Structure 1
Amino acid sequence: MSGGYSNSKKTDDIYEKVCGQQASFAALTMSRLRCMLRGIDIRICIVLLIAIPVFMFGIYLHGQKITYFLRPLWGSPPKPFHEIPHYYNENVTMERLCHLHGWKVRESPRRVFDAVLFNNEIDILALRWNELSPYVTQFVLLESNSTFTSLPKPLLFAGNRHQFKFVEPRLTYGMIGGRFKKGENPFVEEAYQRVALDQLLRIAGIEEDDLLTMSDVDEIPSGHTINLLRWCDDIPPVIHLQLRNYLYSFEYHVDNKSWRASVHRYKPGKTRYAHYRQSDIILSDSGWHCSFCFRYVSEFIFKMKAYSHTDRVRFPHYLNPKRIQDVICKGADLFDMLPEEYTFKEIIGKMGPIPHSYSAVHLPAYLLNNAEKYKYLLPGNCRRESG
């Protein structure tokens, strides 16, 4: 009985000395840890050991989503465009249409040059050129044997040029060799190719006050929009085109916020081919933007590897063909991303799959006239060939 009391008292004295900093440095260091552990529940330690790795793994998987969702806290929306109402009806004269927009009609239309960088969008290019063919003076296309991410690629347009005989007399085609600089920012290669496109436009014979459309292949201005701008005087020197935004096909209407396409009254020495905001003026409802609108699953995979935002392919399974097919039919996001918006209301409103649209009204005429050939672009046809 007395021995037990003596041992207990001795232990208490040791702790008093240690916790009271009366021991040596080595003993102090070790015993402080013991003092701390005396007050910690072992269950809390276990929970922390499990929770911290799970939290870090969640950040690894969904960090990009968290960043996009919190965007309204650190990002501010760009300056709003001055939006011009767009008037059109096939039974209204051009003089009247120009007047409705506050412009005057010309005695003769301006020449129009349509210039694009080409990657692998053969079908979309066919829709674009057939839509614009009646109004374009010269089609200008630049193709490279390299993607923006320095992957080698075949010259697909050159191999399919026979499909575009209807524009051959009006076509200026150029090929540029890629620089294949591994690890370089993809936007550097993209800018390099756009500078080359400037040179190709001069070879095509563009002159002052000609109209130049600047847009990616899948950003398709409607024919009547280009016809309006070529016939009207006093149009802005640079005007952006508001396009209906679609994903995978014309079944998935995202919004009407596509704005990068633009039309310029060409100024030698000043006009530079670009794909960013160059004006505060935008013309409403001016065409279609059909992003990732491919016939084959293999084309989806190639585009995901090739385009400038390759950092969005964060995990190898994103490129799995079965996953890609499931994503297309659900109207979900290929990169498992949240919407790139600037308010919580818009982000939450766009979360989840894109609603199906069964309207095929006001789509490119060539698409509807060749519906069997391009049925994968129309509502109710989400299944893709493997390629």
Structure 2
Amino acid sequence: MLIDAFTYFNEKELVELRLKYLNPIVDYFVVIESNITFTGKKKKWNFPDVLNNNLKEFSNKIQYHQLNIELDKIKNEESWIIDNIKGDDFWRIENFQRNYIKTACKKFSKDDILIISDLDEIPSTKKLNFILSSDFSKIAPVALEQHLFHLDCSYLRLESWRGSIVTTMQSCNEFSPQKFRRLRNRISHFTDGGWSFSSFGGYERVKEKIESYAHSEHNNDKFKSPEHIANCQKTGADLFHRKVKSKKVERSFFPEDLLKLMDQNPEFYFGKNH
């Protein structure tokens, strides 16, 4: 059995794409949504609206969990980001929500295969089919190296991004989802493992993400101005002034089955001038 588990904030277009693309091979989707943002602000439950209006056809496969986080009760949660880098208290919220995947999946068999991702990290069905056809318990866990895009799909980031982790439930029960996330650059990986669509949706959505996620160092007016975001989208420049190169790509970069789904929300994926 293949289980796809991820946390949810408000990315309606991405969750629709993910479920429609992965539906042919995934048995269950496990969705974790919190009552607060990664910066500790109260938020509404966003997923039920999407589920009831856009994803009814998948309702028999979706296991949706609402997680009420009390900040004073997660002070001992790990705050690791990656490798030996620790974050501030905001990272405890993100990590606690991700680690709840383990609790949400406890009824699955130890031999079942689990995908642990951020929602915007879309694993390749080609790689997942290879995993399903293999004696996976002998090689698990593996990270999927994914093609990284920021703001829209006009520019491909020329950097390695290992996002989705695929493992067995037995392995997940022995460790934690966040530990896999933290060590994803140290474990075995498959190249061409999918796509990461980070900070999509236009100015208001990008601004909301910057103000809501755990990278508090990015919550700065110089990164949130509409002029700056529009320029980065137009030129492929990094949103946070990091020295990362990018190259322009065409629609043909994406496989036909994924592209067909992306074209259901063309402005979201390819910008206003698609």
Corresponding residue number in structure 2 for 1:217: 119
1:375 deviates by 3.7
Corresponding residue number in structure 2 for 1:161: 51
- What whole-Å deviation, never above 9, does each CA across 1:209-245 have from its counterpart, x for those lacking one? 1100011111110112212211222551211111111
Structure 1 unaligned blocks of 5 or more: 1-110, 340-349
- Looking at structure 2, the residues matched to 147 and 211 of structure 1 have their Cα atoms a distance apart, in angstroms, of 29
Q: Which amino acid in the other structure matches residue 205 of structure 2?
A: E
Report if aligned partners of 2:15, 2:119 keep a CA contact under 8 Å in 1: yes
- What whole-Å deviation, never above 9, does each CA across 1:176-202 have from its counterpart, x for those lacking one? 123356xx6211111221232221112
Asked if residue 144 in structure 1 is aligned to residue 144 in structure 2, the reply is no
- Paired residues, what number? 254
Corresponding residue number in structure 1 for 2:236: 331
- Looking at structure 2, the residues matched to 372 and 201 of structure 1 have their Cα atoms a distance apart, in angstroms, of 31
- Change in Cα spacing, 1:246 to 1:160, as seen in structure 2 (3 Å) is same
Alignment of 1:94-173 (within 5 A): 111-162=1-52, 163-173=54-64
- Looking at structure 1, the residues matched to 122 and 131 of structure 2 have their Cα atoms a distance apart, in angstroms, of 15
* Range that drifts further, 270-279 or 302-311: 270-279
Asked if residue 244 in structure 1 is aligned to residue 150 in structure 2, the reply is no
Corresponding residue number in structure 1 for 2:77: none
- Looking at structure 2, the residues matched to 307 and 233 of structure 1 have their Cα atoms a distance apart, in angstroms, of 37
Corresponding residue number in structure 1 for 2:269: 377
- What whole-Å deviation, never above 9, does each CA across 1:32-88 have from its counterpart, x for those lacking one? xxxxxxxxxxxxxxxxxxxxxxxxxxxxxxxxxxxxxxxxxxxxxxxxxxxxxxxxx
Corresponding residue number in structure 1 for 2:108: 206
Corresponding residue number in structure 2 for 1:105: none
RMSD: 2.4
- Change in Cα spacing, 1:364 to 1:116, as seen in structure 2 (3 Å) is farther
1:271 deviates by 4.1
Asked if residue 186 in structure 1 is aligned to residue 76 in structure 2, the reply is no
Q: Which amino acid in the other structure matches residue 285 of structure 1?
A: D
Q: Which amino acid in the other structure matches residue 309 of structure 1?
A: H
Corresponding residue number in structure 2 for 1:286: 193
Q: Which amino acid in the other structure matches residue 371 of structure 1?
A: D
Q: Secondary structure of the equivalent of 2:111?
A: coil
Q: Which amino acid in the other structure matches residue 253 of structure 1?
A: L
- Looking at structure 1, the residues matched to 193 and 151 of structure 2 have their Cα atoms a distance apart, in angstroms, of 20
Q: Secondary structure of the equivalent of 2:109?
A: coil
Report if aligned partners of 1:130, 1:366 keep a CA contact under 8 Å in 2: no
Structure 2 unaligned blocks of 5 or more: 73-87
- What whole-Å deviation, never above 9, does each CA across 1:128-169 have from its counterpart, x for those lacking one? 111111111110001012111112222221222121112200
Report if aligned partners of 1:211, 1:263 keep a CA contact under 8 Å in 2: yes
- What whole-Å deviation, never above 9, does each CA across 1:77-104 have from its counterpart, x for those lacking one? xxxxxxxxxxxxxxxxxxxxxxxxxxxx
- Change in Cα spacing, 1:297 to 1:383, as seen in structure 2 (3 Å) is farther
Q: Which amino acid in the other structure matches residue 69 of structure 2?
A: G
1:233 to 111, 135, 142: 135
Identity %: 22
1:256 deviates by 5.4
- Looking at structure 2, the residues matched to 256 and 167 of structure 1 have their Cα atoms a distance apart, in angstroms, of 34
Report if aligned partners of 2:38, 2:214 keep a CA contact under 8 Å in 1: yes
User: Higher helix fraction: Structure 1 or Structure 2?
Assistant: 1
- Looking at structure 2, the residues matched to 160 and 316 of structure 1 have their Cα atoms a distance apart, in angstroms, of 31
1:362 deviates by 2.9
- Looking at structure 2, the residues matched to 370 and 300 of structure 1 have their Cα atoms a distance apart, in angstroms, of 19
1:374 deviates by 2.4
- Looking at structure 1, the residues matched to 18 and 121 of structure 2 have their Cα atoms a distance apart, in angstroms, of 8
- Looking at structure 2, the residues matched to 370 and 328 of structure 1 have their Cα atoms a distance apart, in angstroms, of 18
1:325 deviates by 2.2
Report if aligned partners of 2:200, 2:269 keep a CA contact under 8 Å in 1: yes
Corresponding residue number in structure 2 for 1:41: none
Asked if residue 254 in structure 1 is aligned to residue 160 in structure 2, the reply is no
Report if aligned partners of 1:127, 1:364 keep a CA contact under 8 Å in 2: no
Asked if residue 358 in structure 1 is aligned to residue 250 in structure 2, the reply is yes
- Change in Cα spacing, 1:321 to 1:364, as seen in structure 2 (3 Å) is farther
- Looking at structure 1, the residues matched to 208 and 149 of structure 2 have their Cα atoms a distance apart, in angstroms, of 20
- Looking at structure 2, the residues matched to 321 and 154 of structure 1 have their Cα atoms a distance apart, in angstroms, of 25
* Structure index of larger Rg: 1
Report if aligned partners of 2:28, 2:61 keep a CA contact under 8 Å in 1: yes
